[in-house]
């Protein structure tokens, strides 16, 4: 055990010795759109358990993980926290999550009622480290008004194709939806790529694992992140990945059909889209409500383009976990059980903010969106095994993230070709596991 891991374990053990007497339990999450809905769950929970109250704290994504990690070390972490697969291996290695296996068995808690695969994601070495919360896939979000101005309809986006050579009908559509300041479109003679008024496609700066920005292209091109779940061999040097990233580089730097890395870094894809500077984006289902609430124009959702290997979306499932150092583990477990119950999941589904982990609650979410006139089938139809792939789970995820993000930044800033930069990054990543 490393010095850092020993420190975490010792601190957790110190807190573990504290008596479980507090009536208030703390619950941390990062999504502001979900916080009010989960307060409804907390109110319902306290009505059934009057001796326990839940204090919900929401923070932004980046600060959330910084504060949570600091809390593990200092002994100030929340009793229950929303967990993500990108952090899960690190937390497991450092012993900061409570094993829920015995509690599940003792209470006869039924783990079979969640969507297939969600509970299994949070099971390692026959121990359960979290209770499924929700799931997500990726789809195209589009500005219906810009579509109409280009002479396109929603039906034109239903069967888009992509390949790394010429971009397929996906690139053709992006070009048609890109307009320069003189009114010329990206597929027209005289288009000025240096003076674009509205891009056909907007993307945030490429993240390390590319959940919404590039994974759908690379995996549909035949790319595989890692040898296996919890494996130690990455395939970042795969030419199939380089082809996908180079295509995005060309789309941005050479063709002017997508914002540059610098421009995207200032606002991000969702802000560029909602401000009217983009006609399409690819984003996760957790952002549906945000697009609906912040767009001043009619929007819609369409399936991802199909690549050489078909249509592919990353499938991610969040979970609620208990801090190993919590002084309120019994009460925390009661809250986690309730979070995963049909009652709470149905509250969340009815609110239409995310797709909950239980099928019956998913149907409520679909109905809630339909009441707003929104078809979310582009997300839900993709949630099948043949069309999805998992977020790569591996130890040393933060280090992998940093190395890969640096490499992708270099490519998108025009500092080299992906075929040259990514193999070097892969060598550095795999050296972490030697």
Domain locations in the chain? 3-136+316-389, 140-315+395-431
The DSSP code for 203 is -
Reference 223, options 208, 241, 210; nearest CA is 241
Residue with tokens 């070709």: 417
Q: CB–CB of 301/158 below 8 Å?
A: no
Q: What CATH fold (topology level) applies to the domain 3-136+316-389?
A: D-Maltodextrin-Binding Protein; domain 2 (3.40.190)
Reference 85, options 73, 97, 75; nearest CA is 97
- What CA dihedral angle connects 397, 401, 403 and 409, to 10 degrees? 170
Structure tokens at 377: 């089938």
Q: CB–CB of 197/275 below 8 Å?
A: no
In a 10 Å sphere around its CB, with 0-12 CB exposed, 13-18 middle and 19+ buried, how is residue 93 labelled? middle
Q: What is the model's pLDDT at position 14?
A: 37
29: left (phi over 0), alpha (psi -120 to 50) or beta: beta
Q: How far is 329 from 333, CA to CA, in rounded Å?
A: 6
Structure tokens at 135: 């799931």
Write down the number of H helices and E strands in the chain: 19, 14
The DSSP code for 132 is E
Structure tokens at 433: 């596991």
Print pLDDT tens along the chain (434 aa).
Answer: 443 443 443 344 433 333 344 489 999 999 999 999 999 999 999 999 999 999 999 999 999 999 999 999 999 999 999 999 999 999 999 999 999 999 999 999 999 999 999 999 999 999 999 999 999 999 999 999 999 999 999 999 999 999 999 999 999 999 999 999 999 999 999 999 999 999 999 999 999 999 999 999 999 999 999 999 899 999 999 999 999 999 999 999 999 999 999 999 888 889 999 999 999 999 999 999 999 999 999 999 999 999 999 999 999 999 999 999 999 999 999 999 999 999 999 999 999 999 999 999 999 999 999 999 999 999 999 999 899 999 998 889 889 999 999 999 999 999 999 999 999 999 999 999 99
Residue-wise DSSP of 306-343: BBTTB--EEEEEEEEEEBTT-TTHHHHHHHHHHHTSHH
Structure tokens at 311: 């249509």
- DSSP β-bridge partners for residue 317: 135
Q: Is residue 217 helix, strand or coil? A: helix
Q: What is the model's pLDDT at position 107?
A: 97
CA distances for 410 relative to 219, 221, 246, 425, angstroms = 21, 22, 11, 11
Q: CB–CB of 268/291 below 8 Å?
A: no
Structure tokens at 394: 């591996």
Reference 23, options 324, 332, 337; nearest CA is 332
Angle between helices 239-249 and 418-431 (to 10 degrees): 130
Same fold, 3-136+316-389 and 140-315+395-431: yes
| CATH match for 140-315+395-431 among 3.40.50.10090, 3.40.190.10, 3.40.710.10, 1.10.357.20 | 3.40.190.10
Q: What is the model's pLDDT at position 266?
A: 86
In sequence order, which residues have a C-beta less than 8 Å from that of residue 418 and are 6 or more positions away?
Answer: 241, 242, 243, 245, 246, 249, 411
CA distances for 122 relative to 95, 252, 327, 330, angstroms = 14, 38, 23, 20
The DSSP code for 137 is -
Q: What is the model's pLDDT at position 23?
A: 82
Q: How far is 425 from 208, CA to CA, in rounded Å?
A: 11
In a 10 Å sphere around its CB, with 0-12 CB exposed, 13-18 middle and 19+ buried, how is residue 14 labelled? exposed
CA distances for 385 relative to 138, 230, 361, 389, angstroms = 14, 19, 20, 8
Structure tokens at 344: 């709470």
Q: CB–CB of 12/72 below 8 Å?
A: yes
């Amino acid at each position: 055990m490393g010095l850092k891991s020993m420190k975490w374990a010792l601190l957790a053990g110190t807190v573990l010795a504290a008596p479980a007497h507090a009536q208030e339990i703390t619950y941390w999450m990062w999504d502001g759109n979900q916080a009010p809905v989960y307060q409804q769950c907390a109110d319902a929970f306290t009505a059934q358990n009057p001796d326990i109250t839940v204090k919900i704290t929401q923070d932004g994504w980046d600060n959330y993980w910084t504060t949570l990690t600091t809390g593990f070390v200092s002994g100030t972490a929340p009793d229950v926290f929303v967990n993500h697969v990108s952090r899960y291996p690190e937390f497991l290695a450092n012993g900061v999550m409570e094993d829920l296996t015995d509690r599940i068995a003792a209470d006869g808690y039924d783990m079979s009622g969640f969507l297939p695969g969600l509970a299994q994601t949070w099971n390692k070495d026959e121990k359960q480290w979290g209770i499924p919360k929700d799931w997500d896939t990726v789809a195209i979000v589009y500005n219906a008004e810009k579509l109409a101005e280009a002479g396109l309809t929603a039906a034109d986006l239903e069967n888009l194709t992509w390949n790394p050579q010429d971009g397929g009908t996906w690139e053709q559509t992006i070009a048609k939806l890109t307009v320069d300041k003189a009114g010329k479109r990206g597929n027209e003679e005289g288009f000025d790529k240096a003076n674009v008024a509205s891009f056909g496609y907007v993307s945030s700066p490429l993240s390390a694992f590319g959940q919404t920005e590039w994974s759908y292209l690379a995996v549909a091109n035949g790319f595989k992140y890692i040898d296996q779940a919890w494996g130690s061999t990455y395939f970042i040097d795969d030419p199939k990945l380089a082809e996908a990233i180079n295509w995005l580089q060309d789309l941005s730097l050479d063709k002017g059909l997508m914002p540059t890395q610098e421009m995207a870094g200032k606002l991000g894809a969702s802000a560029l889209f909602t401000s009217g500077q983009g006609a399409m984006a690819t984003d996760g289902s957790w952002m549906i409500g945000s697009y609906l609430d912040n767009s001043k124009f009619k929007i819609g959702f369409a399936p991802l383009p199909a690549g050489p290997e078909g249509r592919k979306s990353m499938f991610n499932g969040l979970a609620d976990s208990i801090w190993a150092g919590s002084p309120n583990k019994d009460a925390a477990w009661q809250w986690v059980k309730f979070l995963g119950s049909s009652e709470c999941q149905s509250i969340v589904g009815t609110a239409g903010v995310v797709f909950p982990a239980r099928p019956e609650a998913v149907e409520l979410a679909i109905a809630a969106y339909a009441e707003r006139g929104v078809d979310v089938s582009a997300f839900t139809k993709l949630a099948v095994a043949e069309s999805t792939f998992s977020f790569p789970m591996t130890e040393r995820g933060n280090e992998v993230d940093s190395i890969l993000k640096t490499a992708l930044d270099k490519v998108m800033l025009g500092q080299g070709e992906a075929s040259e930069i990514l193999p070097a990054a892969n060598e550095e990543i795999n050296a972490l596991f030697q």
